[in-house]
Amino acid sequence: MLQHKFGFTPAKSHSSDHRWYELKLDGLPTILTKVSHSRDPINKCIEGKTAKQLRVKKQYYEGMMSCSNSRDNYYQQVRKDPFPPFNILF
């Protein structure tokens, strides 16, 4: 879903213990996230961490995963109101 719907591409410069994806938008730092190789359901803690990596609040992330937020909506969200802001590292 990250690749096809939101335009992320595989990030090759990271560890092989997870699948890493990145999104480069003009004027913003690269958005980077990792996804487990496991087919097990994602628990709430991991969902929260992934939402932060994608720079959105958990509720917005849930909308992304349920297909109620489009690519354009996501790009607008991270440009106007990233959460956490890009100056906060984690």
Cβ–Cβ < 8 Å for 60, 69: yes
- DSSP codes of every residue in 4-71: TTT--EE--SS-TTSEEEEE--TTSPPEEEEE-S--SPPPHHHHHHHHHHTTS-HHHHHHHHTT-S-H
CA atoms within 13 A on the CB side of 73: 10
Residue 87: the pLDDT is: 93
Cβ–Cβ < 8 Å for 70, 1: no
Q: What one-letter code names the amino acid at 40?
A: D
Percent of the chain with pLDDT over 90: 77
pLDDT, tens digit (0-9, with 9 covering 90-100), for 6-26? 999 999 877 777 899 999 999
Residue 39's pLDDT band (boundaries 50, 70, 90)?
Answer: confident
H helix or E strand, kind and range, residue 1: none
Model pTM score: 0.89
Does pLDDT of 82 surpass 90?
A: yes
